Structure 1
Amino acid sequence: MTFSLDNSGMSTRALEIADRVEAFVRNTVAPYEKDPRRTSHGPSDDLAVELKEAARKAGVLTPHILEDGSHLSHRETAAVLIRSGLSPLGPVACNVAAPDEGNMYLLGKVGSPELKERFLTPMVQGKMRSAFFMTEPAEDGGAGSDPSMMLTTCRMDGNHWVINGRKTYITGAEGAGLGIVMAKSDDGACMFMVDLPDPAIRIERVMDTIDSSMPGGHAVVTIDNLRVPATQMLGQSGEGFKYAQVRLSPARLTHCMRWLGSCIRANEIASDYANRRNAFGKPLVDHEGVGFMLADNLIDLKQAELMVYWCADVLDTGVLGTVESSMAKVAVSEALMRVADRCVQVMGGQGVTGDTIVEQVFREVRAFRIYDGPTEVHKWSLAKKIKRDWRKAHES
């Protein structure tokens, strides 16, 4: 690895896991990057199953969750997930991809023993995929970056809840065995664990999007009189936003981890190209216009890594860390966009082809600037905090 990752604060156990993940992704997963089962809507289910089976044999399936069900710390998880991201297929193979990783974290934190046995266990074992149903179509006026606009409703009918609405950008809905569905009751937001497939949940279409790393792609979904047993509500009616934050703050950070790994790999490829390719009598790297771009990449990669570990340390203190995760999401996504763009530029025509993963990483990271909240929404949230803090200081 030409970029040196910081291993401070890591247990020997975590570093051993991280080393095994890196070796597996580089040696076993990377050759699959040319596999025709990589589609525009993500790797096919049979490719994902094959990769997970390889990870199981290598002892790196769901590596951040230990045999006793406990998790590595957020800092240690970063060491593992960054390395899983060294290939766009790595998180899928190691069973640490979104949305499954975030859904496993949520269920592990707040799920009942029954829900954990029914849903979490097969997810950890790599036998079930999941989807998180929160975002709604803009044309309906539904919830996007502002979840308070949620239009999907739920009402009690005997010992069941009945859910109606439409959802969009639902990653992995096609082929998932679990859906975590958010809807609004008279009490407020609610969250439900739903068995999939269910005839009441109809996939209208899987959209063509700029990214292509997540199995099942991103779907528009209609929910028509879905009946869910009351025992499958997470928490109580009206507590949905509280549980959403339990999931979303760490999930923003794990996105940063995985895509940092992808950009490290893209930078390796671009650096190798610049050292091997000659133009105007010398290697490209010796031209300042190219060499300086690669130097800027190292700076951005290191700053992104520092933000990831800083936010991970905050989460490890037990603080929810919504402010910190917003700052990390903005800083890391913007830095990685610059890195990916420079990698394409350094490689010229080769950078826009599918001959290497550089082109895909560029597309994935461009989408990352929007997924889990666009940069502008996180900055707006931070600006509101600045205003609240100023008022509090001056009112006292």
Structure 2
Amino acid sequence: MTDSRTTHDTVGQPSAELAELKGRVEHFIHTRVIPREPVLDAGGPAAASALRELQALARAERLWALPLPAELGGGGLPFSAYAQLAEAEGASDHGPAALGSAPLLDVTMLARHAGSRVRETYLEPLVAGRIRTCYAMTEADAPGTDPFLTRTRADRETDGSRRITGRKWFTSGAATADLVTVLARTGAAPGDREGLSLVLVPTGSPGFRIVRELPVLGAAGQYEIELDGVVVPGDHLIGEEGGALAVAGERLALGRTLRSLRWLGQAQRAFDLMCERAATRSGSRGPLADHQLVQQHVFDALLALRSTRPLVHEAVALIAAGQDARTEVGLAKVAAARLLQQVTDSAIQVHGAAGLGPDTPLPALFRGGRTARILDGPDELHITSVARRTLRAYGPRPVTPG
């Protein structure tokens, strides 16, 4: 169950229609996806089969790829409208994949910045769910927060193709991906601000390999990869040569906002579990709901939810309008990550020992909350960036002569 917040009007989508669609998404996540989480979390052939079944159901229920372009087989919802659904969809980590919206970042990036052959070859099967993509930015000695240290290279061959050499790690979903977008140097040297480009690499290419899996607090899905002289056509460059940071910045702003929306959904799920536990569990001293310290957990969690949600949707509105949203995205990302960790921690506390075991999703939600404070840039990066940007407005004003 979710709280009774009002669905806002959205450009091009009447609020009543959007509320109905959101209800259908919520129902699908809670009745179809969440019951299959143990199988999906375990990975392997059984998880792949379960995901295919869920995707078929999503198509049958007309919930497939709602934010992806209609001309490519998606639902065609504008981002401002999809943002009203993303929280419900993200209540489960598997929701976006089950409903076909997971490739939104890659579809958006390729549609805007890829050449015609790449768009014609990959976009339609990507929207249809026949192929998967991943994104490789960070290296062991070159964190994503400092891309100028990138050592992976994509050198031009005499025929115009690119030969890629290097290693990346914490590449989500690399083991099952058909394509990986790689941040690599096409010029300059590590430490220089110039010479960084994005290259689309088919994972079946000779020289591509999975080095190892990198469990995150015990959870699977992250990988270290190696590109040992992988050759791709020259037209697999995404955007202009040397223009990676502009494309990556656009992708990160959208990606951080999407994650924040999904973390809201997961925090709401933890909040609901906490309240249900408090309302139904009694001990020798009476119902948990009557305990003031439990009430404190509920109040603080509700305050955090109600305070964070407007921050996230402020970022959504600016991105949808094509405006500078760097400050709002930074605020939303930090607030949503903290929210998920705080609310899940309170829910575990109210559940007691049961909140630590395998019978609730709380351990996985808590792990997600802790991870969220590092994903897409650690809290410290966003705090510093937002503070510096804010303080510039209070600096000395230039003196006008005369």
TM-score, normalised via structure 1 length: 0.91
- Match for residue 194 of structure 1 among 181, 191, 201: 201
Q: Which moved more, 1:175-184 or 1:110-119?
A: 110-119
- Match for residue 99 of structure 2 among 87, 94, 101: 94
Question: C-alpha root-mean-square deviation of aligned residues, in Å?
Answer: 2.2
Q: Which moved more, 1:185-194 or 1:348-357?
A: 185-194
For 1:248 and 1:360, how far apart are their aligned partners in 2?
Answer: 24
For 1:392 and 1:61, how far apart are their aligned partners in 2?
Answer: 52
Q: Map residues 305-384 of structure 1 onto 2, 5 A cutoff.
A: 305-384=309-388
Aligned to 1:232: 236
Give 1:291 deviation, angstroms: 1.5
* Pair 1:389–1:40, CA change in 2 (3 A): farther
The 8 Å contact of residues 274 and 285 in structure 1, kept in 2 or not, is answered as yes
For 2:384 and 2:372, how far apart are their aligned partners in 1?
Answer: 18
Q: Map residues 131-146 of structure 1 onto 2, 5 A cutoff.
A: 131-137=134-140, 141-146=141-146
In the alignment, structure 1 residue 267 sits paired with structure 2 residue 268: no
Q: Which moved more, 1:67-76 or 1:162-171?
A: 67-76
Give 1:155 deviation, angstroms: 1.3
The size of the alignment, in residue pairs, is 387
Give 1:71 deviation, angstroms: 4.5
Give 1:292 deviation, angstroms: 1.6
Give 1:393 deviation, angstroms: 3.4
Amino acid paired to 1:191: L
The 8 Å contact of residues 136 and 168 in structure 1, kept in 2 or not, is answered as yes
Amino acid paired to 1:239: G
For 2:41 and 2:292, how far apart are their aligned partners in 1?
Answer: 36
In the alignment, structure 1 residue 203 sits paired with structure 2 residue 203: no
Name the SS for the 1:335 alignment partner: helix
Give 1:392 deviation, angstroms: 6.0
* Pair 1:33–1:382, CA change in 2 (3 A): same
* Pair 1:40–1:49, CA change in 2 (3 A): closer
Task: After the TM superposition, list the runs of 4 or more consecutive aligned residues in structure 1 that deviate by more than 4 angstroms.
Answer: 40-43
- Identity over the aligned pairs, expressed in percent? 28
Give 1:280 deviation, angstroms: 3.3
Give 1:200 deviation, angstroms: 1.3
Gaps of 5+ in 2: 188-193
For 1:142 and 1:269, how far apart are their aligned partners in 2?
Answer: 39
For 1:362 and 1:96, how far apart are their aligned partners in 2?
Answer: 24
The 8 Å contact of residues 63 and 80 in structure 1, kept in 2 or not, is answered as no
Return the index of the structure with the highest Cα Rg: 2
Aligned to 1:151: 151
Aligned to 2:87: 82
The 8 Å contact of residues 266 and 358 in structure 1, kept in 2 or not, is answered as yes
Aligned to 2:190: none
Gaps of 5+ in 1: none
For 2:109 and 2:312, how far apart are their aligned partners in 1?
Answer: 20
Aligned to 1:244: 248
Name the SS for the 1:197 alignment partner: coil
Q: Which has the higher contact order (CA 8 A, sep 6+)?
A: 1
* Pair 1:46–1:340, CA change in 2 (3 A): same
Name the SS for the 2:20 alignment partner: helix
Give 1:2 deviation, angstroms: 3.8
